[in-house]
Structure 1
């Protein structure tokens, strides 16, 4: 009986570790030759890699267009203060056109198995954030991609607004300043924190799992960090090197 219990414990441990899923940070761009982060090519590379998902960043231009870009600037222009017609004149470093949310979602729809992890970037005011949320969800629903999309944000207001507009979407908070208990109380679905947050709060992963929350860590590029998080049973890891971790 003791051997059977030990065996079951080992199987449970292996299954728990095997559940760690990989998300490409801004797509799989760290390739040979390297392409551009948040590009359609980076998303296409992720789709070929056959991992859980591809994360990307949504911002809004001065005239209300939704575009994909991590930094608040593109070609030396502040996205929030510049019209799309001016921004699109500057191509990405790999020669692609400056991507819109629509073009990115259309590429994502080509492979329903790859989740689209939508990071909505904070804006200057609550009103702008709420507009950004509303327009993003409309774009997703227009393409019937609700089941393929999940949301993350550093803005607590954006996270709450997404759930307000459509509670069926999975929403994870990025900032790292709220405990799993607080996240659960606020009605969000998970924590997606920098891996150092979990080092500083060693009980949070176990607490989050016990509360039924999604657990994710960013941006994990070190094998030792990945292995330790996997050992603790983390659900997801977001990384610039998804090819390194996909079969680990």
Structure 2
């Protein structure tokens, strides 16, 4: 662990537990905490599409989150499930290719699919974007990206490939890696791989590891990003007591919070980011909380 001993001292941990939530670091974003549009503004537009990025921008949301998987011919596409079935018309277009896994289709085949009609007729014809297309749209809106490498065990080498795409798109310069990009995964090994390949890139681990394991995580990740149902003030404070690989306290971005009451509660724990399908609801709840405290 950087700038810390392997074990957190009792004094440091107690100090963290006594630190008011309002003193949590907020460099994950411009807001306190940052509001992160989950799969784009996915309550209002089909998830992980360019339309969902556009909707987040329309709502004034700076951070968007997405999921990356790989096609049979090696193209990176933005999709949450490892199957195309739920969010596209793949069953109609390719009825004989069950279970319709992303890894069994070429990029050209996936580009034919309608990824919007399932959500509503207004989005008929929306496509599954490639990672290049998605990053270009985020850049157009001057937004920030929390990128999740999905199911890395299915796609050997996807970390290096993802970083290559980001580099080609200009997202690995100092401006992006210090303030506009975080790469996360549920796989600790995948996060380690990203950190090893490109140490400048900030990373996040999706989950709630025991406090006793945090020294090991602090070697390779900048964020611990748990489900909101697993959080407490004590846990968030404990995470904040550790220093990550870039010399700053570990951060916490929690998911998936879609109502005002929960948003206010986890903000009170001192989280650094809130991942949400309804970023306007969370943002307005936090603003109301701030206004009420003035």
Q: What TM-score do you get using the length of structure 2 for normalisation?
A: 0.72
* Separation of aligned partners in 2, 1:46 and 1:97: 17
Shift of 1:123: 3.1
Identify which of 51, 56, 71 aligns with 1:46.
56
Any residues of structure 2 matched to 1:45-194 within 5 Å, and which? 45-74=55-84, 75-76=90-91, 77-93=100-116, 94=123, 95-112=125-142, 114-124=143-153, 128-129=155-156, 131-146=157-172, 147=176, 148-179=180-211, 181-194=214-227
Query: Quick one: structure 1 residues 118 and 226, their matched pair in 2 at CA, closer, same or farther if it must change by over 3 Å?
Result: same
Q: Is the 8 A contact 1:155 1:175 kept in 2?
A: no
Q: 3-state SS of the aligned residue for 1:96?
A: coil
Q: Is the 8 A contact 1:109 1:145 kept in 2?
A: no
* Separation of aligned partners in 1, 2:46 and 2:134: 14
* Separation of aligned partners in 1, 2:73 and 2:183: 23
Query: Quick one: structure 1 residues 178 and 100, their matched pair in 2 at CA, closer, same or farther if it must change by over 3 Å?
Result: farther
Shift of 1:173: 0.4
* Separation of aligned partners in 2, 1:111 and 1:183: 36
Shift of 1:193: 0.6
- Identify which range, 165-174 or 144-153, moves more after superposition: 144-153
Q: 3-state SS of the aligned residue for 2:182?
A: strand
Shift of 1:210: 1.9
Q: Which runs of 5 or more structure 2 residues have no equivalent in the other structure?
A: 1-19, 85-89, 92-99, 117-122, 243-248, 287-294
Q: Which runs of 5 or more structure 1 residues have no equivalent in the other structure?
A: 1-11
1:210 corresponding residue in structure 2: 241
The structure that is strand-richer by fraction is: 1
Number of residue pairs matched? 228
* Separation of aligned partners in 2, 1:164 and 1:224: 39
Could you say what the CA RMSD is over the residues aligned between the two structures, in angstroms?
2.0
**Cα deviation 1:208-240 (Å, max 9, x = unaligned):** 112210111100113222111111211100011
**Cα deviation 1:138-164 (Å, max 9, x = unaligned):** 111111123132111111111001001
2:266 corresponding residue in structure 1: 229
Query: Quick one: structure 1 residues 208 and 14, their matched pair in 2 at CA, closer, same or farther if it must change by over 3 Å?
Result: closer
Shift of 1:13: 6.0
Shift of 1:84: 1.8
- Identify which range, 183-192 or 162-171, moves more after superposition: 183-192
Q: What TM-score do you get using the length of structure 1 for normalisation?
A: 0.85
* Separation of aligned partners in 1, 2:21 and 2:198: 35
